[in-house]
Structure 1
């Protein structure tokens, strides 16, 4: 072959001696030189041929191929461009151009995709160009994904899927990009496409499981995670996602076991430590969960959700004081509340105009907190305030639609980043932005860091400081935050002239039933609080009541009662305090508000936990005629330990407040010892609450309106 090339080279040389202007011979001699590896000589000869015949598209095309083979992509690209300018419909030329460009860097890579996409249009049946372009787009998306440019990554992967729709790997990347973008329905669609192409794709199964859990289809999510693990038992994220789904389902023992399996495979997995801590905490094993959360934070200091979870877990710890909690909250803020504020807003500084009030929460859904919020927002005077709801709920439900009906403006914000949501708030012209989540799950505290509204407040319903210094006030009251508590808040305190909580029973509430003790022959104490609140100290407190009232029973209801591990822990906890299992009734919640409230018709006297008092559960008990004995908060306690006593003061039931354990048991003995008086109290308790400040929702709405106006006028005074 080499001999023939040499002969051809001699022949072309003779032709050019005889006819120096013979362009084809000069071009072909250049091609021969390129085949022989003499690149510069080839480039010179073909360049001369191009000068002789500038309209010949095959000359620069062959030069491009030679330069590309020689590893000179920039020069090759220039030659390809010239060839394609002469023959724009040359599909093979576009393919070769696109195939050559990626080695030259990101800009050439983008040009390569454009070239390959053109080749696809010219050669619809040629899968080489489509596959190459799709792969390049997939590669190009990765740096955007890693840098947090989610929209750019998703757009590139959409083009990639369009070129190669049957590629499971590209489909999976597209699904992950849509999930990161907050497009959960799109992500679910793409995960399902991935699995249709590759049914054993463990990562797609695991991520689909996580997504189903987050969007309210948790049982299906757990099934998907188990399928992933049947395919790949060593898939760490599959175990982590399964633990999250089991936690949502209330199967805390299974959640803890799945997290432990993840840690056995990956001992340094921060998410697995966080999930294990969450499962143990929800079983009531708070003291065990706290060190695990600390470990998660150390392993991944940039996981803001784990740090927020740790802050919330501290609320359940006996002896936690406000100073320590403020210190931890400020640590969170120093790391995560760092976004620069938006420019000063241009809201009209009219002190008396109708105010636009924005409400940010993930609990505009079937959640205990919603039973407080819905009546309150319904009671606002809409001639004074316009309500903008920013819902970050990922699994909206029928209750969400009730909130939507209350809104003057509604925004489904689950898919928005904090920056995007801050911009939306600014565009909406909100005057006062209200945080209703603090550090609870799904919070958007980063929005408030950006100060999109002239006035920003958090509320006493969160009880605890955010640690962020960009709030204008925490709206609270003197019962929850008595004088001196200012030192435990990063936010200035604005105290309402009344208790900052009010309750109105739902229309689905059943009638108050007769006293259960009258038919049972024994007193039934009870609590429907979550198990995280049933701490060692709470168990000791309640065990003292059961000892003081012989033959009495304790009715406990929470979704954790479906979980064998949670039931076993609770039974063992009370056994340590001398309470036999036959004195405990561990009940699973029924479906529906009516049935859940009807369970109070099996309870004679409610018991409030310590240090984290009941909130909605206490109000529900009172509404259903059940008096609740509450521990008085101590001087160093957090506001959450004062909620019960504040409610009783507000309801005119101060006699139910117990300053210590002995008094707590004594209150129980007194109530249990006079069944006629207890029955009378039960029969009149709902009307008593309705006529008290605790049941006066309109009065609370007026107090909030006045507080908003005070804060707004302060801002107007500085804006002029």
Structure 2
């Protein structure tokens, strides 16, 4: 039943997938994969009936170390970093296969450059590629040799072509099994191997468990601890993971200045912007927007959004269409909260340049908790759309706050849902206040660090060199902070 559910999920038939997972759990209540998939599937459809009970069961399993729950699906269950560490550690222990290779003796090589490998299945039309591609292009080739290892098939997309061209050596390893791939990585004689997947879909952490590189780190792809003893470092920032929370993470932490998220200043934007009418939006009404995945929307957040629609005349909520069931369920949930379901407008999927352009039609982006907007938040900020967030305790719940602070807009970061709702109402009813924030965002876009890709490049390269220096001197990995460079990189022409 679980495998049947997975097949339905691949066919984008979430309702049938959820029914299959429920059948699997009826036969085996401790079927961890079915429980994780059921949680994710119901969230994807915004089918909130019974979700509290499912979440309680999942948390009890994690607390009792009874079954291994998917850490990725657990990010939407709670923002408790201690529980997320337990979940990730349990999952990693139960799924780890393959013995590590003998540790190589690290000595000074004849190479003048550090050889850094990036390992991922996201080198395709994927959010991670859109974020990281310019960093790969900008790496200092006088000090670094940059290698890519892709274990996803070539999707023939423009971003795949750009990604391939950004590496000194690019290896399509999508046809290799774990043992063969681990040996391929080892034979590449890397100094540092950077994983970009973590516990997300397509992860191949079992390859890294074999220790094919002397230093192994995780960056960007998964917003949390991997709970694995074979990952030496995790890249974070001071807001994302405060120093007093470091013990909640299995890895040594590297605190980058500004934000942990890198961005691409060259991301293409469609030349023409559609009209509000083209997108089914009112010409004059206030447009609240949330382009996060539907699985991130929670009932408590939706309650707030519906109260805003009730109190702001002519307002609408613009969401991203994911599946028909989610759209149907959200309209039904609106109606039960006495809101006209036509006030929910769903945007169809679009290519990134067109998707970016349509952000100009919205007035305010409303973020989600406990799983914030990540790439979706930087997309909005790049397009000059203010993002209002509520920060929680976990990495996933603090990303948007990290981005807003790095672009000089900490006033859009709230610490609880009451303040979040009050701020949203104020911004929607005080045009001068919102316009001032828009002006500040536009002024800061190429002035503050968030979209300064070369500044980020200098910081992460400093981290790579410190990691290698420690390794060469025989020191064990340890957490450290990278000092910010003094100057801001010039804006692109």
User: What is the CA–CA distance in structure 1 between the aligned matches of 2:186 and 2:101, rounded to whole Å?
Assistant: 9
Larger of the two Rg values belongs to structure: 1
**Which residue of 463, 470, 482 maps to 1:707?**
463
- Tell me which moved more, 363-372 or 675-684: 675-684
Q: Quote how far apart the aligned CAs of 1:468 are.
A: 0.9
Name the SS of the counterpart of 2:181 in structure 1: helix
User: What is the CA–CA distance in structure 2 between the aligned matches of 1:530 and 1:655, rounded to whole Å?
Assistant: 25
Q: Quote how far apart the aligned CAs of 1:427 are.
A: 0.6
Contact 1:252 1:566 in 2 (8 A): no
In structure 2, the residue matched to 1:557 is 320
Contact 1:243 1:275 in 2 (8 A): no
In structure 2, the residue matched to 1:453 is 213
Query: Structure 2, unaligned stretches of length 5 or more?
Result: 476-493
User: What is the CA–CA distance in structure 2 between the aligned matches of 1:293 and 1:552, rounded to whole Å?
Assistant: 37
Residues 1:649 and 2:414 are matched in the alignment:
no
In structure 2, the residue matched to 1:485 is 245
User: What is the CA–CA distance in structure 1 between the aligned matches of 2:319 and 2:266, rounded to whole Å?
Assistant: 22
Contact 2:287 2:362 in 1 (8 A): yes
Name the SS of the counterpart of 1:641 in structure 2: coil
User: What is the CA–CA distance in structure 2 between the aligned matches of 1:438 and 1:484, rounded to whole Å?
Assistant: 23
Q: Quote how far apart the aligned CAs of 1:672 are.
A: 2.4
In structure 2, the residue matched to 1:383 is 142
In structure 1, the residue matched to 2:327 is 567
**Which residue of 118, 122, 130 maps to 1:363?**
122
Contact 2:226 2:250 in 1 (8 A): yes
Name the SS of the counterpart of 2:289 in structure 1: strand
In structure 1, the residue matched to 2:479 is none
User: What is the CA–CA distance in structure 1 between the aligned matches of 2:432 and 2:55, rounded to whole Å?
Assistant: 45
1:388-442 deviations in Å (ceiling 9; x for gaps): 1111214633132221111112222222222222211111100001111111111
Name the SS of the counterpart of 1:462 in structure 2: coil
Larger RCO, structures 1/2 (Cα 8 Å, 6+ apart) = 2
Residues 1:473 and 2:233 are matched in the alignment:
yes
Q: Quote how far apart the aligned CAs of 1:589 are.
A: 1.7
In structure 1, the residue matched to 2:41 is 279
**Structure 1's 684 and 322: CA in aligned 2 closer, same or farther, altered over 3 A?**
closer
User: What is the CA–CA distance in structure 2 between the aligned matches of 1:545 and 1:237, rounded to whole Å?
Assistant: 39
TM-score, normalisation: structure 2 = 0.84
Contact 2:124 2:160 in 1 (8 A): yes
**Structure 1's 543 and 349: CA in aligned 2 closer, same or farther, altered over 3 A?**
farther
TM alignment of 1:654-673, pairs within 5 A: 654-673=410-429
Q: Quote how far apart the aligned CAs of 1:544 are.
A: 3.8
Contact 1:350 1:716 in 2 (8 A): no
User: What is the CA–CA distance in structure 1 between the aligned matches of 2:456 and 2:20, rounded to whole Å?
Assistant: 45
Q: Which has the higher helix share?
A: 1
Q: Quote how far apart the aligned CAs of 1:373 are.
A: 1.4
In structure 1, the residue matched to 2:10 is 245
Residues 1:420 and 2:176 are matched in the alignment:
no
User: What is the CA–CA distance in structure 1 between the aligned matches of 2:334 and 2:111, rounded to whole Å?
Assistant: 57
**Structure 1's 369 and 287: CA in aligned 2 closer, same or farther, altered over 3 A?**
farther
Contact 1:281 1:289 in 2 (8 A): no
**Which residue of 278, 283, 290 maps to 1:527?**
290
Q: Quote how far apart the aligned CAs of 1:640 are.
A: 1.2
Q: Quote how far apart the aligned CAs of 1:269 are.
A: 8.1
RMSD value, Cα: 3.4
Q: Quote how far apart the aligned CAs of 1:541 are.
A: 3.1
**Structure 1's 436 and 259: CA in aligned 2 closer, same or farther, altered over 3 A?**
same
User: What is the CA–CA distance in structure 2 between the aligned matches of 1:328 and 1:269, rounded to whole Å?
Assistant: 15
TM alignment of 1:75-474, pairs within 5 A: 239-240=4-5, 242-246=7-11, 249=12, 251-257=13-19, 275-284=37-46, 285=48, 287=52, 307=68, 310-318=70-78, 320-337=79-96, 339-345=98-104, 348-349=107-108, 353-394=112-153, 396-398=155-157, 399-459=159-219, 461-474=221-234
In structure 2, the residue matched to 1:698 is 454
User: What is the CA–CA distance in structure 1 between the aligned matches of 2:367 and 2:102, rounded to whole Å?
Assistant: 47
1:658-688 deviations in Å (ceiling 9; x for gaps): 2333322332233323446645654674552
Query: Structure 1, unaligned stretches of length 5 or more?
Result: 1-235
User: What is the CA–CA distance in structure 2 between the aligned matches of 1:466 and 1:698, rounded to whole Å?
Assistant: 28
**Structure 1's 239 and 460: CA in aligned 2 closer, same or farther, altered over 3 A?**
closer
Q: Quote how far apart the aligned CAs of 1:281 are.
A: 2.9
**Structure 1's 351 and 555: CA in aligned 2 closer, same or farther, altered over 3 A?**
farther
TM-score, normalisation: structure 1 = 0.59
User: What is the CA–CA distance in structure 2 between the aligned matches of 1:355 and 1:667, rounded to whole Å?
Assistant: 47
Q: Quote how far apart the aligned CAs of 1:510 are.
A: 3.2
Give aligned pairs, total.
466
**Which residue of 605, 609, 621 maps to 2:364?**
605
User: What is the CA–CA distance in structure 1 between the aligned matches of 2:403 and 2:356, rounded to whole Å?
Assistant: 19
**Structure 1's 513 and 587: CA in aligned 2 closer, same or farther, altered over 3 A?**
closer
Name the SS of the counterpart of 2:146 in structure 1: strand
- Tell me which moved more, 489-498 or 571-580: 571-580
Contact 2:198 2:221 in 1 (8 A): no
Contact 1:253 1:566 in 2 (8 A): no
User: What is the CA–CA distance in structure 2 between the aligned matches of 1:410 and 1:660, rounded to whole Å?
Assistant: 45
TM alignment of 1:505-516, pairs within 5 A: 505-510=265-270
Q: Quote how far apart the aligned CAs of 1:354 are.
A: 0.8
- Tell me which moved more, 343-352 or 330-339: 343-352
Q: Which has the higher strand share?
A: 2
Contact 1:499 1:646 in 2 (8 A): yes
Contact 2:196 2:218 in 1 (8 A): yes
In structure 2, the residue matched to 1:582 is 342
Contact 1:515 1:604 in 2 (8 A): no
